[in-house]
Structure 1
Amino acid sequence: MTVTIRRPGGGGSDGTAPAAPATMVRARSPLTPESLLRRGRVDPGSADAAAVSRMMDLEREESRRYARHLRDLAPFWIDHEDPDLAEDREERSLAIAIALRTTTALASFRIREAHIALREMPRTFERLAAGDMPRRWHEKMLKAVRDLTGFQRSQADEYIAAWDLASIPADRFHDELRQLVSWFEREQPRHCPEHSRDVTVETSGRDDGVACLRVTGPIPEILALARRIDASTTAVQSAQRHALAQGAPIPFDLDGDVARDGSAMTRAALRYAIIHRTLLDTAGVEVPAPRHRINIVVPVLTLMGVDDTPATYDGMTPLPAAMARDLAESEPVWHRVFTHPVTGAFLPLPAQRYRPTPEMVEHLRLTTPRCAAPGCTKGTTDDAENDHIEEFDHAHPARGGPTSIDNLHRLHWGHHDLKTAGRVDPVREPDGSTTWTVGSPPLITTRVSPRPDLATPRFATAMMESWEHYRWLCMTEEMERNGEVERIFREWGPIDPAVDGQHDDEESARRAPWAGDPPF
């Protein structure tokens, strides 16, 4: 017997890269409608047997249909390594996003996967097109090989296409795929932990009012940060307990809760407060103030307490109705925003003025919290630019598009550059909608409806009346929590329900926002 030992990671004698281990991935028996019925113990000729056969046919037809979809997408690929083709990539991603009714980021991702499937992994693509490889398997394979090199993907394509994809069970496919990718990844250079340093904000996407700040980095640095926070938490909590015992001023009692409740803050509350409420050290670098006010956009009926439609933080992040009402109550000033023809509409600036006023920019941020380009999900708080839909003529301002709300929107800088280059052409229609033509020559055209009015005079009047009633309810609840209501009952005696009930009914009928005609 001869035993050949290959050094791990070594190539062949000719210097070529080592081949992946060949594995015979075969099913014990072919998967056919008949064998499927036997495996599932389904009686041939029964209604269940017919349904199982239809599902099997539909699964394979879905694979073939998905292959046709990838074949249509692949020609839209533009090489990402060429910086001179950036506008071509943006243009095509925007066109596909409109066609698929998705985001530009997801459209770009799908174009890339279609390119890999047809150009770098054609053998497995043919198995998909033949209906042998389920669509979900193909998608999982593309995700698994995403970080491999082009040559490695070509190798993986050769091995996977040779598997008995039409008959092997799902768990066998997943196990073999994981082992094959792991074999390729053993040759990959180790990722540098220092390059992973990042801080990101994650939201749940629901109106639960919760978000997460994720800090990523090398393990020693993250553990050191956690220990510093824990040490600070322990020190502050101990100082608070000592101050309570001695009757001394309480340190770090930011909201007065410790003095009121007579107990130190919990460790969880302290960790959050230390991170959230302390100043960040920027080594003398002056941090500029925010360029824009943060807006909590609250639906009118929600503010009135009639409805619980979620509010939005800067027009994008959903907030629960109760949280929005509490935030509104804590603010001394409300900003009511209207659009034409309601009183308060913005008027066009003189033709000679190019830049919109700060008030107009604030209004645009409310009406277009995300980039106005179809399918783009990037916010417009900071990383966006004001764009004249009908171009402003700098040489002859009177001949160009006016600087008015009707002729302005906010665009992410990448799509603004695309419009400047003539790759996209938005046109504002008389009804306020915008028709977008993407591509030069045109690839696709779509129309985007405008956001509705943010308020009306009747809504505003009803809102203020309902708000006063809401504040009265909040005051009553606070009195009940503090025992003030019980004290009044003891001092003033019992209340006559017949008399007070009549007054309450009259007052409620007068104050109720839904009394009489609805305010809309």
Structure 2
Amino acid sequence: MDFPAPPRDRSHPTYAWSGIPWPEGDELQSDADSAWAVALGLLDDGDAAEHDSSPADPALLLERLEDRAAARHRAAAAEYDLILRVLQGAADDPEPWVGPDPTLDGLWHDPRGRTVAAVRRDRLDMAERAAVAEIAVRLRLAEQTVRTRAAQAAVLRERCPQVWTAFADGRVSERHAIETARLAATLPADRATWQAFDTGARDRALRLSPARFATSARVLRERVHAESVETRHQRARADRGVWMTAELDGMATLTAFLPADRAAAAMTHLDRTARHLATAEGEDRTLAQLRADAFADLLAGAGTASVAAADPPSTADAGTEGAGTAAAPRRTPASGTPSVIITIPALTLLGADNAPATLDGYGPIDLDTARRLAGEATSWIRVLTHPVTGTPLALDRTTYRVPTALRRWLGVTSPTCAFPGCGRSARACDLDHLHAWSEGGATHDDNLDPECRHHHRMRHETRWAASRDPDTGDLAWTTPLGAHIDADPPPF
């Protein structure tokens, strides 16, 4: 049934009746708009009431707020549940994701020499990978986020059904549920322990804010855990590591996950160093700045920079190869000094342009820092490129292995894995022939893309497919279920 839009004619006079003023035109229009939206199914009556701009009882507004919060929690739980169901479906029936089982063919022979059992295990693994990737690109999530949410839903369903039910009913938040799953996943495989933790966690989640709940739930976990702290600490030590997170304005955060005693000792050493430096005459840095500078000096030392220079292709003489962008060599083990890799347009380096420099693995950095690193550089690398297009010349069909110069060039033009959402550095990726070498594909930049080993395998062992638009050169991916996903734009 068609519903006409509410009329906009408010030219008729208004009247008062029984002492009640006739509504103003804007109020009448708002009511008409709301009624029209409800009739179309765009709003329900509750939504229409929320959009009413007239003064409301604060208690009523708070009730609506609680309803909306509960609806958000229910929606989050439903999302977790659906992710888990898709992945469980891929495990139960991998064919939509990886194609028919080749081992069912009586004439089948695996060219890699795998047994039937091994091939079937690989199919299940690749089906799950393909399903995770499809969810990730459709929801614009990281693949690890998809896996984590599925694992959290599975843990809550199995080990903490009371918390899961409260989450699905909208009575506890997503943050409560995530913290519960994180703690429950580390409990030993004992149902009595799970039940005790589940009951206590549900009671606390219904009464405490997420931050207070996290503290209380950790104490509860210690109380019900059957293993000693010493045993758990030895296992947790295996997860130690260091990682960097890019921040704004040329800054970054370096995080270290360490045993508590070593972390405390390191912090004490930094603090002592900073306080000593603060006593120097004329020192005006804060203690926080001094700790950060001491930390960087201790780790980075007087490191050197390897700088890549780039001349715009238009500056090259006709008929010759111009110098293009490049990457830098690895650190020399003998010297022990670390190297960083930056790419600087040559005109910027000469002060004739202000195009930004790029720090490998981070992105754009300020020109003062780039010029300083350039001045400290012990080596320069130039990649020869086509004088008009600025890209390396295509290599002939006699070359399958990607030459070093072309690999460096691709590391600049495609600094990360070509799969949507994957941020793994191109330095850690395989270079995959989009048009297979065995089928006549060439080894040149138009036919090569960096793919991390995970996505490289997925492209060849599942129904994920990649193609390049012949007119624009843009890369696109097709999911196992037929969705078309554009490749991500370059990160920098």
Q: Fold conserved (TM > 0.5)?
A: yes
Structure 2 counterpart of 1:387, one-letter code: D
Per-residue CA shift, 1:39-74, capped at 9, x if unaligned?
xxxxxx844333322211100111111121112111
How far apart in 2 are the matches of 1:155 and 1:112? 19
Instruction: Note the 1:447-466 alignment, pairs <5 A.
Output: 447-448=486-487, 451=490
Structure 2 counterpart of 1:200, one-letter code: V
Within the candidate set 223, 230, 235, 1:183 is matched to 223
Aligned residue number for residue 16 of structure 2:
none
1:437 and 2:483 are equivalent in the alignment: no
Aligned residue number for residue 436 of structure 2:
391
Aligned residue number for residue 363 of structure 1:
409
Structure 2 counterpart of 1:140, one-letter code: E
Instruction: Note the 1:130-169 alignment, pairs <5 A.
Output: 130-151=169-190, 154-156=194-196, 158-160=198-200, 163=203
How far apart in 1 are the matches of 2:393 and 2:241? 41
Aligned residue number for residue 480 of structure 1:
none
1:205 and 2:215 are equivalent in the alignment: no
Aligned residue number for residue 65 of structure 2:
55
Cα distance change on mapping 1:67 and 1:215 into 2, 3 Å:
closer
How far apart in 2 are the matches of 1:360 and 1:421? 27
Following superposition, the deviation at residue 159 of structure 1 comes to 0.9
Per-residue CA shift, 1:422-473, capped at 9, x if unaligned?
443111122122121233xx36431115549x9xxxxxxxxxxxxxxxxxxx
* SS in structure 2 at match of 1:417: helix
Identical counterparts, % of pairs: 25
Gaps of 5+ in 1: 1-44, 238-265, 280-285, 394-398, 455-520
1:126 and 2:165 are equivalent in the alignment: yes
Cα distance change on mapping 1:224 and 1:55 into 2, 3 Å:
closer
Following superposition, the deviation at residue 367 of structure 1 comes to 1.8
Cα distance change on mapping 1:109 and 1:190 into 2, 3 Å:
closer
User: Would you say the 8 A contact 2:416–2:425 is kept in 1?
Assistant: yes
Structure 2 counterpart of 1:192, one-letter code: Q
Structure 2 counterpart of 1:320, one-letter code: D
Give me the TM-score of the superposition, normalised by structure 1. 0.56
User: Would you say the 8 A contact 2:155–2:184 is kept in 1?
Assistant: no
Structure 1 counterpart of 2:176, one-letter code: W
* SS in structure 1 at match of 2:473: coil
User: Would you say the 8 A contact 1:71–1:118 is kept in 2?
Assistant: no
Instruction: Note the 1:264-279 alignment, pairs <5 A.
Output: 275-277=299-301
Following superposition, the deviation at residue 299 of structure 1 comes to 7.1
Within the candidate set 468, 473, 482, 1:428 is matched to 468
Instruction: Note the 1:20-99 alignment, pairs <5 A.
Output: 46-77=56-87, 84=122, 85-99=124-138
How far apart in 1 are the matches of 2:408 and 2:250? 26
Aligned residue number for residue 440 of structure 2:
400
Per-residue CA shift, 1:376-395, capped at 9, x if unaligned?
222122x22111012110xx
Following superposition, the deviation at residue 410 of structure 1 comes to 0.8
Give me the TM-score of the superposition, normalised by structure 2. 0.59
Aligned residue number for residue 459 of structure 1:
none
How far apart in 2 are the matches of 1:362 and 1:267? 36
1:419 and 2:459 are equivalent in the alignment: yes
User: Would you say the 8 A contact 2:414–2:426 is kept in 1?
Assistant: yes
Cα distance change on mapping 1:354 and 1:126 into 2, 3 Å:
same
Per-residue CA shift, 1:255-275, capped at 9, x if unaligned?
xxxxxxxxxxx9997886565
Cα distance change on mapping 1:52 and 1:311 into 2, 3 Å:
farther
Aligned residue number for residue 111 of structure 1:
150
Give the paired residue count: 360
Following superposition, the deviation at residue 204 of structure 1 comes to 4.3
Per-residue CA shift, 1:73-120, capped at 9, x if unaligned?
1124468xx974443332222222212212222222222222223344
How far apart in 2 are the matches of 1:201 and 1:64? 34
1:354 and 2:400 are equivalent in the alignment: yes
Gaps of 5+ in 2: 1-54, 92-119, 278-289, 304-331
How far apart in 2 are the matches of 1:199 and 1:296? 25
User: Would you say the 8 A contact 1:209–1:318 is kept in 2?
Assistant: no
How far apart in 2 are the matches of 1:363 and 1:337? 7
How far apart in 1 are the matches of 2:291 and 2:268? 13
My pick for the range that moved more, 183-192 or 302-311, is: 302-311
1:192 and 2:228 are equivalent in the alignment: no
Root mean square deviation, CA, Å: 4.7
